Structure 1
């Protein structure tokens, strides 16, 4: 009997140690973003011991991270009854409450999850802090407050410092985030995420070379740590955006690093969707189409696949598939619609209404498409910056009215990276649309053009062409005062650039235009000044017929 009891105790102890080891391995898999592997391990632990509340909590958190809230809730509710750290699951339910904007219920659940902890306990507080950080609407201030409580309990705990770093980072406090991440790695030099986050801070500060160096230091410690390759991919993507001369090379490198990340994590539907999101960022729509079709084979009912199919189909020229996919996705009230969904569908409508030669657009189709695009811009104003190339293409095709309608959506957003460019093209589109033969100029449109050129001048005072087109626009508006000043400003700004600029034939032609138009205005009030400007024209072109004739009338 005693032997049996000893054997039973030994067996229980062995199983307990084994499960603890499995839990640690699952945690490592979660940190390495190998979520499917972690889920499999945790399910095995729960199957062997349904009362393992910690395993239920970790599994529920993975599902919450993957936005599968129903499954997360099931595991949290089951885990509450668990004998092993079951109360952690209240914290998981608290995050769901936060996601549902029920702060009072969240705080009640957090209270249950931390009830009875000692002054030395930090784990529960760390998970509450993470819940505030990972909520749909993060509350970094609350996270910092709860994590500082944990820090008082144990300032040398690596997980406390790592979570504090994440909270400070989310709260845009880079200095304290750096200190916390550094402390976390010093406390546990196997915690690669903390060291990686030091590189993330550098990436956020646009110190890309230093960030790459930091990420390579992580790889030197463990070349199989997947998340660092995702960070490298995102760093090279940012280099491509900020350094156009390195764009092609950097995007290729970024895609290579993301492929490496995928190979070290998993190819689940969730990971493939993250990959698809990255392919959209880098603009690789051929690869997106391949990925979307692979996802369709894995999970034909996941609605987000329609989004990816729609984006890829539009960019790859299949407007009918794009239209069907995006309309089906947007029409489902349970789907979370983002600005790009509306914008892409709107562009699909416009593209479908564009003639084969690209020189005309059906007005009804353009109107419908523009209305849908506006929905996207209203949802996220900064999304309009992605319309720059669309507007430029319409401008190149001499579809000036349509180009102006597109540029109008982004030209007022000073936060846009294309603010200057969009205002230039907005003004030009309106000007050329109202400067055509047999077209009666629209004064309201021209006033908008004038405002656009004024925005350009304010943002870039040395861009002389803005002064020229502002003058031309006000000539159509018959606003003599603004026109004269703008022409003179053009002359002055161009002259400041020196003899080489003034020697250009195109510049000489523009100077003649400016001198002659200023002369016309002065001829009404100051004939001496008018003659002065006409003589300036003749100094450039002695045979200029307009100047010669005008001088005769002024004598």
Structure 2
């Protein structure tokens, strides 16, 4: 009997060691971003040993990472019933609370985890810190405070140092992030994630060549470590955006490295989704459409596939398919809708609302599209960057009212690369939409927006002299003689300062005649002498100008 007891103890001890080894292997798979493999391993562990609470926790974390919150919650709830390490699952449930902005509920769960910890335990603190970091509302200060508790237990542990690096990086403390990542790798030179992150810091500083060199050092250590290829892809993408003349070359490099990343992971649905996200960044919509359809074959019910199908359909000119996919995605309250979803659906409705050659509009669809784009910009102002191009499409078709609706949204984002030119086109769109209309039919609210738009252009670029003329014309439509005279005079002053050669240009002469004639008409309302003076100035440039001739006869 004693021999049996010894054998039993040895057997269970051996099983426990094997289980720990399996969990450790899963952690390596997760770190290598082989999520499908990790899920398969964890499900196998749970099936063979349902008492392993940490397996449920890690599986739930993968679901959370993939934004499948319902599956994550179910898995954590099941894990709470496990015999061993069940309390870890409260960390995952706490992260779900953080997703819902329920900080009190999350803290209560984290405190319950701390109450279960033994004297030397520290891993729980690392996971709690990551819960603070890995949600839609990251709190890096709370993560750092939690990691200080882990540091008290084991400050030299590589995973603690790595987590510190991530928290400092998120908190925009690059120096401390560098020190933490460096120390983590020195403590464990198999911890390639820490060395990759040193390259990420260089990428963030726009030291792209140095970042690539750092990633190549990782590849020299382990050419099969997948995340380094994803970082190379992203680095070449940003390099492409920041180096004139190299965009095509570097984007090609970026896409090549992402394909390599895919080959080193598992071509799972999750990996394909991440690839799809990158294809959107790289604007490779043909490849996105192919990837989206492959994902549909793998999992026809995953809602995010509708997003990719919608984006690809719009960019490839299939507006009805884009509307169908994105509307279905947005209408499901369980889906986490982002600004780009509203933006793409809005643009698809606007495009569909433009009938055939763009000479007619479906006002209902167009209005719905504009409202969706406004919603997108409210969620994330930076998506307005680039909207000016869409507005200019309608401007060039002389659909000025429709152009103005889009350009007004585009100019709401002051950091836009095309902020000034978008303001200029906004002012012009409103002006041309109102020019020629009787006073009673003019949109004075819109015209005041045009005046502000021209003001934005001139504030930043006072030498954009045509904007003075446009602003003067706008104030003429507003029947504000004083403002009209002021801006025409500013135009005159600027072109006169450039000298005789400028004044001799036919286009400048025409605008000077316009300026003096319109100013003369304005002065006629309150200063006859000034009116006569300006009509005479118009005739000095164009003696045959009939408007000025008739006006002078009337005044004299």
TM-score in terms of structure 1 length: 0.87
* Residue 473 of structure 1: aligned partner: 474
Indicate if the aligned counterparts of 2:400 and 2:429 stay in contact, CA closer than 8 A: yes
> Within the alignment, does 1:49 sit opposite 2:49 as a pair?
yes
Measured on the aligned residues, the alpha-carbon RMSD in Å equals: 3.4
Seen in structure 2, the aligned counterparts of structure 1 residues 402 and 245 have a Cα distance that, compared at 3 Å, is farther
Indicate if the aligned counterparts of 1:520 and 1:530 stay in contact, CA closer than 8 A: no
Distance in 1, Cα, partners of 2:349 & 2:326: 11
1:489-528 aligned at under 5 Å gives the runs 489-494=490-495, 505-518=506-519, 521=522, 525=527, 527=529
Distance in 1, Cα, partners of 2:500 & 2:20: 79
Distance in 1, Cα, partners of 2:544 & 2:164: 74
Seen in structure 2, the aligned counterparts of structure 1 residues 234 and 507 have a Cα distance that, compared at 3 Å, is farther
Distance in 1, Cα, partners of 2:49 & 2:477: 82
* Residue 159 of structure 2: aligned partner: 159
* Residue 22 of structure 2: aligned partner: 22
Structure 2: tracts of 5 or more residues without a match: none
Distance in 1, Cα, partners of 2:244 & 2:511: 31
Q: Structure 1 residue 294: deviation in Å?
A: 1.0
* Residue 193 of structure 1: aligned partner: 193
Seen in structure 2, the aligned counterparts of structure 1 residues 161 and 268 have a Cα distance that, compared at 3 Å, is same
Indicate if the aligned counterparts of 2:289 and 2:313 stay in contact, CA closer than 8 A: yes
Distance in 2, Cα, partners of 1:498 & 1:253: 51
Indicate if the aligned counterparts of 1:534 and 1:547 stay in contact, CA closer than 8 A: no
Distance in 2, Cα, partners of 1:250 & 1:503: 47
* Residue 456 of structure 1: aligned partner: 457
* Residue 326 of structure 1: aligned partner: 326
Seen in structure 2, the aligned counterparts of structure 1 residues 491 and 229 have a Cα distance that, compared at 3 Å, is farther
Q: What's the secondary structure of 2:385's corresponding residue? A: helix
> Which stretch of structure 1 is more off in the superposition, 141-150 or 200-209?
200-209
Indicate if the aligned counterparts of 1:391 and 1:404 stay in contact, CA closer than 8 A: yes
* Residue 113 of structure 2: aligned partner: 113
Cα deviation digits, residues 469-525 of structure 1 (max 9, x gap): 112212222322222322333344456678886675544543444455445556763
Q: What's the secondary structure of 2:155's corresponding residue? A: coil
> Within the alignment, does 1:484 sit opposite 2:485 as a pair?
yes
Distance in 2, Cα, partners of 1:11 & 1:143: 40
Indicate if the aligned counterparts of 1:359 and 1:397 stay in contact, CA closer than 8 A: yes
* Residue 291 of structure 2: aligned partner: 291
Seen in structure 2, the aligned counterparts of structure 1 residues 174 and 495 have a Cα distance that, compared at 3 Å, is farther
Cα deviation digits, residues 328-385 of structure 1 (max 9, x gap): 2233232233333333333333322322222221333323333343343444444333
Cα deviation digits, residues 135-172 of structure 1 (max 9, x gap): 33222222111111222333222211221222233233
Distance in 1, Cα, partners of 2:206 & 2:279: 21
* Residue 203 of structure 2: aligned partner: 203
Cα deviation digits, residues 192-243 of structure 1 (max 9, x gap): 2223223333433444444444434433433332223323333333344455
Distance in 1, Cα, partners of 2:225 & 2:507: 58
Q: What's the secondary structure of 2:354's corresponding residue? A: coil
Q: How many residues align?
A: 553
> Within the alignment, does 1:341 sit opposite 2:341 as a pair?
yes
Distance in 2, Cα, partners of 1:501 & 1:228: 58
Indicate if the aligned counterparts of 2:519 and 2:531 stay in contact, CA closer than 8 A: no
Q: What's the secondary structure of 2:355's corresponding residue? A: coil
Distance in 2, Cα, partners of 1:368 & 1:424: 25
Distance in 1, Cα, partners of 2:134 & 2:400: 46
Distance in 1, Cα, partners of 2:219 & 2:543: 72
Indicate if the aligned counterparts of 2:420 and 2:457 stay in contact, CA closer than 8 A: yes
Q: Structure 1 residue 130: deviation in Å?
A: 0.8
Indicate if the aligned counterparts of 2:87 and 2:116 stay in contact, CA closer than 8 A: no
Indicate if the aligned counterparts of 2:535 and 2:552 stay in contact, CA closer than 8 A: no
Seen in structure 2, the aligned counterparts of structure 1 residues 491 and 225 have a Cα distance that, compared at 3 Å, is farther
* Residue 124 of structure 2: aligned partner: 124
Seen in structure 2, the aligned counterparts of structure 1 residues 7 and 153 have a Cα distance that, compared at 3 Å, is closer
Distance in 1, Cα, partners of 2:406 & 2:294: 34
Q: Structure 1 residue 261: deviation in Å?
A: 2.0
Q: Structure 1 residue 66: deviation in Å?
A: 1.6
Distance in 1, Cα, partners of 2:256 & 2:148: 39
Q: Structure 1 residue 108: deviation in Å?
A: 2.9
Q: What's the secondary structure of 1:413's corresponding residue? A: coil
Indicate if the aligned counterparts of 1:229 and 1:260 stay in contact, CA closer than 8 A: yes
Seen in structure 2, the aligned counterparts of structure 1 residues 343 and 97 have a Cα distance that, compared at 3 Å, is closer
Distance in 2, Cα, partners of 1:530 & 1:205: 63
Distance in 2, Cα, partners of 1:494 & 1:264: 63
Indicate if the aligned counterparts of 2:539 and 2:545 stay in contact, CA closer than 8 A: no
1:352-371 aligned at under 5 Å gives the runs 352-371=352-371
Cα deviation digits, residues 284-313 of structure 1 (max 9, x gap): 222221111111111111222222222222
Distance in 1, Cα, partners of 2:116 & 2:325: 52
Indicate if the aligned counterparts of 1:329 and 1:335 stay in contact, CA closer than 8 A: yes
Q: What's the secondary structure of 1:172's corresponding residue? A: coil
Q: What's the secondary structure of 2:149's corresponding residue? A: helix
Indicate if the aligned counterparts of 1:233 and 1:257 stay in contact, CA closer than 8 A: yes
TM-score in terms of structure 2 length: 0.87
> Which stretch of structure 1 is more off in the superposition, 443-452 or 499-508?
499-508
Seen in structure 2, the aligned counterparts of structure 1 residues 241 and 527 have a Cα distance that, compared at 3 Å, is farther
Indicate if the aligned counterparts of 1:511 and 1:537 stay in contact, CA closer than 8 A: no
Distance in 1, Cα, partners of 2:463 & 2:184: 49
Structure 1: tracts of 5 or more residues without a match: none
> Within the alignment, does 1:172 sit opposite 2:172 as a pair?
yes
